[in-house]
Amino acid sequence: MKLQVALDYLSIDDALNTLAEVARFVDIAEIGTPLLLSRGAEAVRRVKEAFPALEVFADAKIMDGGELEAEMLYRNGADFVSVMGITNDATVMGVARVARASGRRFMADMMLVRDIAERARELVEMGTGILCVHTAYDVRDAQASPLSELHALKPFSGRAELAIAGGINAKNIADASRAGADIIVVGGAITASPDRAASAEELRKLMEAGR
């Protein structure tokens, strides 16, 4: 079970400063989509160079040009990237080809997927190594917790890692852990905290206690 911190900044320095405080409590550094849009693959490269012991995830949310975009991110140090589960199979298979050639993995973000179980089956068959249920930021106050969707992915445990993202905090991280998440993604509960190291440590303990 791994704790992933979502670095949804616009500045690489902000991301590096946060990691300097919390790296000992997390397993994965997520280069959030805002940071990728702001600073591109340079953000991936600099985080990987500064924190080589951490896995680095590039949350590119690839929808097209899968092979080209994934290759660029892997080349700059990403250990895994994200592709949207609702995109074309050809895009997913493009990412899968580059992942295999690079000896890397990729995550399918299941946001907006209507039939979670059926699409997960197709994605795993195409080589997806991580399936992520995700409450979108813009509807975080109106949408139900992704925990129910995580339960729908349990049949794929063992064939792919299961991840959960969106609104995870000290109140629900143990529930996510008990529900079988292999990767738990935390953003603001760490990055917006006045004491990021203490928050990351607490979340780590709660996550491990839940399992």
pLDDT of residue 77: 98
pLDDT of residue 142: 54
List the end-to-end C-alpha distance of the chain, in Å, as a whole number.
8
Q: What does the alpha-carbon distance between residue 23 and residue 30 come to, in Å, rounded to a whole number?
A: 12
Rg (CA), the chain: 16
Q: What does the alpha-carbon distance between residue 43 and residue 15 come to, in Å, rounded to a whole number?
A: 9
pLDDT of residue 146: 76
pLDDT of residue 145: 66
pLDDT of residue 83: 98
pLDDT of residue 141: 64
DSSP secondary structure string for all residues of the chain: -EEEEEE--S-HHHHHHHHHHHGGG-SEEEE-HHHHHHHTHHHHHHHHHH-TTSEEEEEEEE-S-HHHHHHHHHHTT-SEEEEETTS-HHHHHHHHHHHHHHT-EEEEE-TT-SSHHHHHHHHHHTT--EEEEE--GGGTTTSPPTHHHHHHTGGGBTTBEEEEESS--TTTHHHHHHTT-SEEEESHHHHTSSSHHHHHHHHHHHHHHH-
Instruction: Kindly list the averaged pLDDT for each block of 10 residues, start to end, along the chain of length 211.
Output: 98 98 98 98 98 98 98 98 98 98 97 94 97 81 71 91 94 94 97 98 95 75
pLDDT of residue 137: 74
Q: What does the alpha-carbon distance between residue 152 and residue 5 come to, in Å, rounded to a whole number?
A: 24
pLDDT of residue 140: 67
* 184: its two tokens: 């738990």
Q: Please tell me the CATH superfamily of domain 2-210, with its number.
A: Aldolase class I (3.20.20.70)
Q: Which among 93, 174, 155, 160 has a CA at the least distance from the CA of 132?
A: 160
Give the global pTM: 0.95
